[in-house]
Structure 1
Amino acid sequence: MLIEAFTEAKDPSAPHTNEDRLVILPGRAYAVIDGVTDRLGTRYDGMLSGQYAAVTVQRALEHMLSAPDNPEDPIAIVRALTATIASAYEAHGMAEKVQSDWNLRISAALALVLVRHETVDVILVGDSGVRINGDHILRVEKDLDLITSILRREAWPVIGRKVSDPEKQEQVSRRVTWHGTRQPLDAVADTLDAGDMDFIENRAIAANLEALPHVQRADIENLVRGGIVNAQGGYQNNASLQLGYPCLDGFEVPQHMIEIQRLPRSEVRTVEIYSDGYFKPGDAFGVAAWEKAFAEAERDDPAKVLLYPSPKGSTASLWADDRTYLGVRF
């Protein structure tokens, strides 16, 4: 067996801020956990909520799956992790506040691979991915993320006509994506005016309607106008909405949103698990191949507005996101 792993924070100079975590239990379980970036600066035990979520899930998984009587049912594992986060709210006196304010919740995406006697089980909650045998990718795609990515793409050239500093352009574009086109204008008044915001909103809605004809206009308008902070949380673990998406946040994850794949162990040669900081998969197994692909994506589209649409891009000092890779060759 060969195991290769790599993780780096979006700020390489501050590795302690990394919101990704790894679980490596050789011959038993492997996971990448991606803490959802905090929206309001909420801290738990001195950590921002995304990092605290990832650490909480990591510790719970390691404890649970190391036990002799570890659960084998994927749904039971997800429910146990949900209960662990719910207990964390209780411990921090946040149980009532998080009921009504989704921005205070601690959230994480999970990509988990369990090695059984006869099978390899893949469990996905969120948008981290798993590649099997170098060519079969399992990942839950979120139309919701594409909507906010297109919003940022449409805002990018408008901002670029107003500022010459690439870092300022990235900062303002994230602000638009984060808070939407109907945010108070004083937050962006040094760069954008009401006419700019109206133009960005109209372009973003039209572009999303073209790219996602199956998505209701009301949902597109809601996300464009409200952005991630004001609109996205209402879709989290919400099975009643078309754009509902799964996430570990201490609240029930609808069972049909949990992606479970069971593969014959004899047919699985390699497993690669990765967080969404990788915008392009490696052309071979291993950290070197995935880092090469990462460097290519950064070279070809550092702002993430052309080839790899994203709600955030890279700058000279910061990557767009934390990234983590875990590869296992059996």
Structure 2
Amino acid sequence: MNGTRLIQRKKPIDDVSTQSRLAVHSILSQRHPDPDEVEKLSRYVCFEGYDAALQQGILSASETGRICDMLVARFANLTDPEILSGFLDWGIRSQFMLANRTDHPMGFPTLNCDETSLVDIIDLRLPLADLTSVELFTDGYFQTPDAVSIAAWEQSFALSEAEDFHKLHRFANVKGSTSREFADDRSVIVVDSINGIKAA
């Protein structure tokens, strides 16, 4: 809002998946010379889970065990080891079971066909005179721009691509960019008191 106030909620379950991908990517990058192939396999492991990675021979049991131990220690304050390792074994494809689960430490709110949990919903009112702009953006943008415009958002996106193309460092994420596609799709709506509504 007004190009300065950021309201953004992130899911702990995404932090787990991101750290899993970073660990998997680190192992596979030593095994495969093609960055696109490394990204393809890393995505597969994170989305399908460690069980699938073992079945397909992408990772060994010792490798998945080592990663799992590391993540269990890292996220010890989030949930029990059994719950975390179960999620890693099943992968991101299983996280729909945690949607709107307020009783689960890795649950998250979402708008789907279930009853929506209001855990992270923010309801606020502001005087119209105090509001000059509102920008709504998806997580395909990895940083916010300094100016209020579609062009500024796209420039910000280009800078993040140049700085961390594979999304392993500053903009670490569950997916990285490849020679054929960006890490994620992106959308932004910019509403300002001068130029009206624009979307991309």
Q: Please indicate, yes or no, whether the TM-score normalized by the shorter chain is above 0.5.
A: yes
C-alpha separation in 1, matches of 2:73 and 2:149: 40
Residue correspondences, number: 192
- 5+ residue gaps, structure 1, are 1-131
Does residue 205 of the first structure (1) align with residue 69 of the second (2)? no
CA contact (8 A) 2:9 2:120 kept: no
CA RMSD in angstroms comes to 1.7
5 Å matches for 1:118-267?
132-183=1-52, 185-187=54-56, 189=57, 191-209=58-76, 213=77, 215-218=78-81, 219-230=83-94, 232-267=95-130
Runs of 4+ in structure 1 over 4 Å off: none
State the Cα distance separating 1:195 from its structure 2 match. 2.5
Deviation at 1:242, TM superposition (A): 2.3
Task: Please state whether the residue corresponding to 1:176 is helix, strand or coil.
Answer: helix
Contact (CA 8 Å) 1:180, 1:228: kept in 2 or not?
yes
Q: Superposition pairs for residues 252-291 of structure 1, below 5 Å?
A: 252-291=115-154
Q: Which amino acid aligns with 1:140?
A: R
Contact residue 46 and residue 91 of structure 2 kept, 8 A:
yes
- What is the CA distance between 1:275 and its match in structure 2? 0.7
| CA distance in 2 between partners of 1:265 and 1:220 (Å) | 45
Is the 1:303–1:313 contact (alpha carbons within 8 Å) kept by the matching residues of 2?
yes
Looking at structure 1, the residues matched to 146 and 12 of structure 2 have their Cα atoms a distance apart, in angstroms, of 26
Question: Which stretch has the larger CA shift, 139-148 or 197-206?
Answer: 197-206
Superposed CA deviations along residues 241-273 of structure 1, whole A, max 9, x for unmatched, are: 122211111111023443322222111011111
Cα 1:243/1:194, change in 2 over 3 Å = closer
Distance 1:306 1:241 in 2: 29
Q: Deviations over 1:210-267 (max 9, x none)?
A: xxx3x1234433322321113x122101111122211111111023443322222111
Provide the identity percentage.
29
Q: What runs of 5+ residues in structure 2 fail to find an aligned partner?
A: 194-200
Change (3 A) 1:224 1:184: closer
Contact 1:146 1:309 in 2 (8 A): no
Larger RCO (alpha carbons 8 Å, 6+ apart): 1
> Once the 2 structures are TM-superposed, how far is the Cα of residue 192 of structure 1 from its aligned partner?
2.6
Q: Distance in 2 between matches of 1:156 and 1:207?
A: 18
One-letter identity of the residue aligned with 2:159: E
